[in-house]
Amino acid sequence: MAMQMADWISILIAHLIRCPSTIETAVDRVTPEDIQQVHGFTTSLLWTFSRDYFRQYKRVIPRTSLEAELVQYNTGTWLLEISSADVCDFIDWAYSIPTDDFNHEEAIGHIRRLLEQTRVQNKIQAAAIEGNVKMEELASTINNGMEEARIGCVEVINPLLNATTMMGGTPPDPIGGAEVNYFNMLCQGGLRRGEIAVLLGPSGGFKTTMALDICCAMANSQEYSMYLTYEQAFHDGDLPIRILARMGDIDKNRVETVTFNQLNTDEQKRVTDAQNRSHYIQLLDRSTSIDRVGDISDFVKQQERKGCKPRLLVIDQLLPWLDKWDDVTPDNVRLIGREVINTLKQEVASKHGIAVIVLHQLSAALAGGSATRVPHHTDSQECKSICNWADFGIAMGNLNHDAEVMWIAASKTRRGVETKLLIKPEGGKCHLRLCDDYELSTDGKFVQKGGAANRITPATSGPKRGSNQPLLTKGDL
């Protein structure tokens, strides 16, 4: 029995019974006949029960239901009597394996081997029955069998087969509600599941503040998010303080300088409420770790198994993450960055049905310049390249210290229409808000709306303060 459990088909059946991702991949591809030809009738029967249950309820079959199906099937028949003890042992083994130990990719490899063995074998058997088959024809037959056995076998689909039912079915999905309406406006209504946005900005330019702002707003709306930090360590950094300031609506300086007992009653209640909601932010400190995209996909799958699948994944940030990879150099980082964004979109966002935000720091040369200039994702070839596969390229400008406002623009969007907004960082509370009451005057100053048209520019402002020049001259009259 130990040998049977150790072979790959037994591992595969354990996956098909217990792992939702593996069942979902195999349910329409693997037939009971495929398994029976390789491992016998009893194993194929287990797969039949598991597959039918998943098709009906969209979840894995409980052990009690599986055993009830076997008892009912075996009533009045001798088919399982000769192996009933082995079957019970196998089921006990399959359900005793911790789900965290399941490797979905390994199971997919087992499925591929299974299909190759059964379907290629069927092709050869059919050719042998026909007789007088030439070597070239046999090779073609084997190749056809291998092609049919591929997990990603091509399926031809009529794109408008369900045109009437698909219309209006994928509206933008706002994230975090009204608390981060500026972000949903940048994403033209919201970031859809399967979409990816790259957030570009200078060092200290509020990229992390925005990402945390979104995650905290989602937590307040009881939406799960996953935050992977590759630059700012959680334990030795100020991320917990920033999250508490944002979710508790308490100034960061106050959080850092007073104890809980020194807070007033209302502040203490807000801190307690923030603690009760903080589990919606799944923060992974990866500042000292090396992860590939497949590892990130595994993180998401682990949370999905626990019933807390994230609606949003944040990666903070791209370059510190890639710098940990041995094969990344200054010469190829742009190309690899572009490929990573594409892989994230395919293997994480689209595969798991979640949205992804990747933070990327602009170079010092690009980070300078006037705060009145609207930023664009094509400000550098590097940023343009990285945004190539993303649905949104969101660029953050520099802060204007007089008005405390800054431009932020989604210049690479799903509709090809640029969205630019003025936002006002509330640094003490780690929050950003839409600043639609400011505008840019003709002399390049941020002023309250309505003041730009009447603003007196320096060229026509009369005498300088402290001079003896009269307010009005004869020429003015």
pLDDT at 353: 92
Q: Which residue has the higher pLDDT, 178 or 156?
A: 178
Amino acid at 205: G
Q: Report, as an integer, the average pLDDT of 460-469.
A: 43
**Residue 175 exposed, middle or buried by CB count within 10 Å (0-12, 13-18, 19+):** buried
DSSP 343-408: HHIIIIIIHHT-EEEEEEEPPHHHH-S-TTSPP-GGGSHHHHHHGGG-SEEEEE---BTTTTBEEE
What's the chain's length in residues? 477
pLDDT tens per residue, range 398-412: 999 889 999 999 999
pLDDT digits (tens, 9 = 90+) for 465-474: 444 444 434 4
Task: Name the residue among 278, 353, 341 with its Cα closest to residue 311.
Answer: 353
| pLDDT at res. 22 | 85
**274-299 mean pLDDT:** 92
pLDDT of residue 310: 96
Lowest mean pLDDT among 2-16, 166-180, 281-295, 340-354: 2-16
Least confident of 113-122, 132-141, 323-332, 351-360: 132-141
Instruction: Compute the average pLDDT of residues 231-247.
Output: 87
> Which pLDDT score, from 0 to 100, does residue 31 have?
83
Q: What is the pLDDT of residue 416?
A: 82
pLDDT score recorded for residue 144: 64
pLDDT for the residue 11: 83
Residue 105: is its pLDDT beyond 90? no
Q: Which helix (H) or strand (E) holds 412?
A: strand 406-412
DSSP secondary structure letter of residue 451: S
The set of residues, in sequence order, having a beta carbon less than 8 Å from that of 386 and lying 6+ positions away, is 198, 318, 334, 337, 338, 341, 360
Q: What is the mean pLDDT of the chain?
A: 81
- Per-residue pLDDT of 12-63, as tens digits, reads 888 888 888 888 888 877 888 888 877 777 788 888 889 888 888 888 898 8
